[in-house]
Amino acid sequence: MLGWGVVGASTIAREWMIPAIEAKSDSRVVAVTGSDPARVADYAAANGVPRAHASLDALVSDPDVDCVYISTTNEQHFAQAMAAARAGKHVLCEKPLALSVAEAREMVAACEAAGVAMGTNHHLRNAASHRAIRRLIQDGAIGRPLAARVFHAVFLPPHLQGWRIERPEAGGGVILDITVHDTDTLRFALGDADVTEVTAMTASQGMASGGLEDAVMGVMRFDNGVLAQFHDAFTIRHGGTGIEFHGEEGSILARDVMTQRPIGTIVLRRDGVEEIVEFAPDNLYERSVAAFNAAAQGTGRPAATGLDGVKSLAVALAVRQSAAEGRAVAVDYGV
Ligand code: NDP
């Protein structure tokens, strides 16, 4: 039985990750910590977490904690992951892993040195829909992939607005929030292809302040020749989400799949015929936890590794730089 310590009394932990850890027969949540001890105590009580620790040190020193799940604001991930690794705990960290590629790489190296598992909580690659798409492409259903399109422009609900739209120093903005997920999902579907170059434009369309963007559109060039177009936003109320892959012999058109919930539809179109692709929906976060539990037990690997998180961050930072400088930018993976 693995004991999980939750760092960050956050919405994502409350809504998805604590229930997912508890749903697995080989794990349970034993403790939580955050910056405000009184709020953490209330959060622990409200979410059935046995222990509320007053500090990160106390949580990573807790002998019942084997795995640490980090879901604080983005600027805190680095120091918290480093502390967990130093204490010999397995680390599952939210995206973006950090605010710089150098920090993200240091986190991965620290986990390697400590001999602990490290994962990035890119939930979408755990979706049955995206796994089905990856399989289709792998099996040659659309022939050689040439192009992709992601539309992941949503309306950020009021309870999530806060730091995401107000605090650049906390790693706010739509690029670090959503473009990282697009990158990881595209890489996953394309058999772990990597982005070499990006170009992008951003906008502030009335929600974000402090110089942060709440919309971005751009293009990614992959090392297998695929060009991918993306649109991410906090400001689009009625668009719905989706992802498409276009190959020499067919196209995959998926709707409502860039989401936390196991929903959506996939259509495979080739030779003038449209086929609905069936998939058995399952809980994305439970699958993420199951894979991480296996990694911590030495019998598997995280769904998205630390290196996957380094890569999605590197692409997002290149997107931000491209928009700021008005030019195409080669992705710097820090190697
Ligand atoms: P929240 O705003 O809910 O929580 C982030 C931090 O804000 C908390 O750790 C807490 O700090 C503080 N906080 C939260 N609520 C309050 C409150 N009522 N009063 C005062 N402080 C509060 O963020 P999210 O859960 O939306 O995101 C957290 C992380 O998870 C981010 O890195 C984000 O990118 C990632 N994320 C990932 C998703 C995925 O599907 N993979 C989905 C959503 C988010 P403290 O703990 O220090 O007290």
Is the Cβ atom of 94 under 6 angstroms away from ligand 1?
A: yes
pLDDT at residue number 189:
98
Pocket test for ligand 1, best of 16, 32, 71 (most atoms within 8 A of CB): 71
Is the Cβ atom of 36 under 6 angstroms away from ligand 1?
A: yes
Mean pLDDT, to the nearest integer, of 15-37?
98
33 exposed, middle or buried (CB, 10 Å; 0-12, 13-18, 19+)?
buried
2-123: CATH architecture: 3-Layer(aba) Sandwich (3.40)
Ligand 1 atom having least distance to the Cα of 177: 34
Amino acid, single-letter form, for residue 158: P
In degrees and rounded to multiples of 5, residue 93 shows phi and psi of: -115, 145
Spatial separation of the C-alpha atoms in residues 220 and 328, rounded to whole Å = 10
Give the model's confidence band at 226: pLDDT under 50 very low, under 70 low, under 90 confident, else very high: very high
CB count in 10 Å sphere of residue 7: 30
Ligand 1 center to 36 CA (angstroms): 13
What is the average pLDDT value for the chain, to the nearest integer?
Answer: 97
Is the Cβ atom of 189 under 6 angstroms away from ligand 1?
A: no
Peptide bond into 96 cis (omega under 30): yes
In sequence order, the 6+-apart residues with CB closer than 8 A to the CB of 66 are 2, 3, 4, 89, 90, 296
Mean pLDDT, to the nearest integer, of 46-70?
98
Nearest residue (CA) to ligand 1, atom 40? 123
Is the Cβ atom of 9 under 6 angstroms away from ligand 1?
A: yes
Ligand 1 atom having least distance to the Cα of 284: 40
- Show the tokens assigned to 325: 């400088």
CB 186 within 8 A of CB 198: no
Ligand 1 center to 40 CA (angstroms): 13
Is the Cβ atom of 121 under 6 angstroms away from ligand 1?
A: yes
pLDDT at residue number 285:
98
Matching CATH topology for 2-123 and 125-285+314-330? no
Q: For 293-329, how does the pLDDT look when each residue is reduced to its tens digit (9 = 90+)?
A: 999 999 999 999 999 999 999 999 999 999 999 999 9
pLDDT at residue number 212:
96
Spatial separation of the C-alpha atoms in residues 220 and 200, rounded to whole Å = 9
Pocket test for ligand 1, best of 12, 43, 258 (most atoms within 8 A of CB): 12
Spatial separation of the C-alpha atoms in residues 183 and 193, rounded to whole Å = 10
pLDDT at residue number 68:
98
Ligand 1 center to 335 CA (angstroms): 30
Nearest to 216 by CA among 241, 234, 240: 234
Percentage above 70 pLDDT, the chain: 100
Pocket test for ligand 1, best of 11, 177, 258 (most atoms within 8 A of CB): 11
pLDDT at residue number 221:
98
CB 164 within 8 A of CB 220: no
Sketch the domain layout of the chain as residue ranges. 2-123, 125-285+314-330
CB 30 within 8 A of CB 3: yes
pLDDT at residue number 279:
97
Q: For 154-195, how does the pLDDT look when each residue is reduced to its tens digit (9 = 90+)?
A: 999 999 999 999 999 999 999 999 999 999 999 999 999 999
Give the model's confidence band at 218: pLDDT under 50 very low, under 70 low, under 90 confident, else very high: very high
280 exposed, middle or buried (CB, 10 Å; 0-12, 13-18, 19+)?
exposed
Is the Cβ atom of 80 under 6 angstroms away from ligand 1?
A: no
pLDDT at residue number 97:
98
Question: What CATH class is the domain 125-285+314-330?
Answer: alpha beta
Q: For 99-142, how does the pLDDT look when each residue is reduced to its tens digit (9 = 90+)?
A: 999 999 999 999 999 999 999 999 999 999 999 999 999 999 99
pLDDT at residue number 4:
98
**Which helix or strand (DSSP H or E) is residue 110 part of?**
helix 101-114
pLDDT at residue number 308:
98
